[in-house]
Amino acid sequence: MTSFVVDSTAPLPGNGTGPGAPLFKPLPALVDTTWFIPTTQIHMGGSIRIGNYPDVLVTVHWISMLNACASVVASILVIAHCFGFFKCSDTDVPPPPTPFDSYALSDQSLGRAGPGSNPDIKPHYPSGSGTGGPGSVRHDASVATCPTRPKRRSCMDTAHMLMRGDFAARFPVYIAVCEIVFALPHAFEHALLLTTGRFPEHDKCLAFASVLCVSYGVQQLMYGFLALYTYFKVVRNYTIPLGTGDWRLFSTVGVAFGALWLFEIVTSGLGPTGYMCSHDLQKPTGLMLAYIGGFMSTFNTLASSYSYTMIAREVMGAMRMFASVRAARPADYPHVRTLENAMAAAAAQNTVLTEHQLILKSLSNLLAASMLSSTPGAIGGWATAIFATCGVVEPITGALYVLAPGGSGWVNGLAYFANMRLKARVAEVRAGSSTRSTSMHGAAPAVHGRGSIPGAGGVHSAAFSPSVVASEPAKQAWVPQEPVSATNRLQ
């Protein structure tokens, strides 16, 4: 048998000792492999056709350009839908909250000031136990009939309503803007690379790298923050204070990434990576920026998967609780004595169960979008940083690191519109339940407590983006001393 001996002292391609040599001595087994690209071949103003398979890189440039263009289009559509320029269906409505949603988002609806402290929404009392005497039922017209929402608002009115509403209602606009800021120069950069066949010179390369690095970090941080924000609000019942206009969020993000950008500019850490202008793989601060990118993608992946999974458990627990209440015999409760009461109660519970099922579907859409857009970026980010530390670029993991953030715009756009269609289905279910229960309203007690069922306000539009409903014990319900799910824990 013939044995091969590798001489570790032999000179390696791109492994010189001059100023163009990589920071760390490349591993011989990696550089000897024709698939890998030495980082010494990548520099500002250099050719994009590098390595032994230059056509692979050119193909990735074409795919990345089309990928980023699709994200720009999807993000523009999301913003247009948020401002009511078009509808997904006949039952689709603009995201800003209705008067009922304002109640659902208030402290009173969460039971912090008591159900009777809201002058617009008054508690209903079952027959025989109300304050107006035996057999009386208090009824508020504002609860029975929802005012017609205008189909089209001005952009200024919509913007004002978004700023007064929940953070989750504004989040689709925030993230769509971040996607456009990242994807638009990203697509233009790939078009420039394909047109000229070379990486930009120093000034242009720094401009592209500055925009792409900062927008990528903000994009990943915003996704992960919304997941954690929703988790604390729904599962832990704690709302992170953001301030007027979410200034605490923007100031924190701006200061953090502004300081990082200034540090990278001073230390010359920005430059070409072989696929785009981002971080210089031959500089220590460029390698540091590569590891930061991998960390941000990992934070997004872990925060989203954990938060949406825990919220789904809350919703499933609410579904099981409602199923147990529905399984109980109406005759066991003193306030439910007639067939009409039992039918009205069953209709209300069926509606809540249906909405919980749709919310679980919306959570699965959000989780799938998060995994599809952030997981490849996390894998590619860490792999790119590790390979760059060894002095080489691996084409497949490098392509993942480029394609994942560039495609997150259209991936999340698909999830957004899928959840808007689910919201339209919720509206249909709610309308059908309201129609069935209206004829029985005089006999059936309404539900009010620390939350509201879909027939009494419904699910806030932000529940599908993705601040969702959660289960919570209610102090007043049609079933005495039984927990009832609060379908709005939004603020």
- As given in the structure block, the two tokens for residue 249 are 């969020």
3-state secondary structure of 277: strand
- Spacing of C-alpha 357 from chain mean position: 19
pLDDT in the model for residue 433: 62
The number of CA neighbours under 13 Å toward the Cβ of 135 is 0
pTM: 0.68
Q: What is the signed CA dihedral for 86, 91, 92, 97, rounded to 10 degrees?
A: 130
Cα–Cα distance, 329 to 336 (Å, whole number): 10
Cα–Cα distance, 46 to 32 (Å, whole number): 22
Closest C-alpha to 126, from 432, 480, 478, 421:
478
pLDDT in the model for residue 89: 63
The number of CA neighbours under 13 Å toward the Cβ of 137 is 15
Give the other-Cβ count within 10 Å of 235's Cβ. Answer: 15
Cα–Cα distance, 246 to 230 (Å, whole number): 15
Angle at 354 between CA 119 and CA 148, to 5 degrees: 45
> Which residues have a Cβ under 8 Å from the Cβ of 420 and sit 6 or more positions away?
81, 88, 92, 464
Does residue 431 contact residue 65 with C-beta atoms inside 8 Å? Answer: no
Tens of pLDDT, residue by residue over 310-336, are 888 888 887 778 777 666 655 555 554
Cα–Cα distance, 76 to 306 (Å, whole number): 29
Cα–Cα distance, 376 to 298 (Å, whole number): 10
Cα–Cα distance, 9 to 159 (Å, whole number): 65
Cα–Cα distance, 37 to 41 (Å, whole number): 7
- As given in the structure block, the two tokens for residue 52 are 């032994």
**What pairing do the DSSP bridges indicate for beta strands 37-38 and 392-393?**
antiparallel
Counting as low any pLDDT under 50, the low residues of the chain are 1-16, 93-147, 149-150, 336-337, 439-491
Does residue 335 contact residue 480 with C-beta atoms inside 8 Å? Answer: yes
Does residue 404 contact residue 297 with C-beta atoms inside 8 Å? Answer: yes
Cα–Cα distance, 112 to 98 (Å, whole number): 21
The position carrying tokens 């508690």 is 123
> Which residues have a Cβ under 8 Å from the Cβ of 218 and sit 6 or more positions away?
178, 253, 257
pLDDT in the model for residue 99: 38
Domains of the chain, start order: 45-112+150-464 (1.20.1070.10)
Cα–Cα distance, 452 to 490 (Å, whole number): 12
Cα–Cα distance, 254 to 262 (Å, whole number): 12
Closest C-alpha to 226, from 159, 304, 162:
304
CA pseudo-torsion sign 317, 322, 324, 325:
positive
Per-position DSSP letters for 110-126, written without gaps between them: GTSS-GGG-SSS-----
Does residue 269 contact residue 286 with C-beta atoms inside 8 Å? Answer: yes
Closest C-alpha to 67, from 198, 189, 172:
189
The position carrying tokens 């699965």 is 364
Cα–Cα distance, 394 to 387 (Å, whole number): 7
Question: Beta strands of 377-420 (E only): which ranges?
Answer: 392-393
Does residue 136 contact residue 442 with C-beta atoms inside 8 Å? Answer: no
Does residue 38 contact residue 132 with C-beta atoms inside 8 Å? Answer: no
Any bridge partners for residue 277, and if so which?
Answer: 272
Closest C-alpha to 335, from 124, 110, 103, 30:
124
Any bridge partners for residue 393, and if so which?
Answer: 37
Find the length of the chain.
491
Cα–Cα distances in angstroms (integers) from residue 424 to residues 186, 297, 482, in the given order = 34, 32, 30
- As given in the structure block, the two tokens for residue 5 are 């001996």
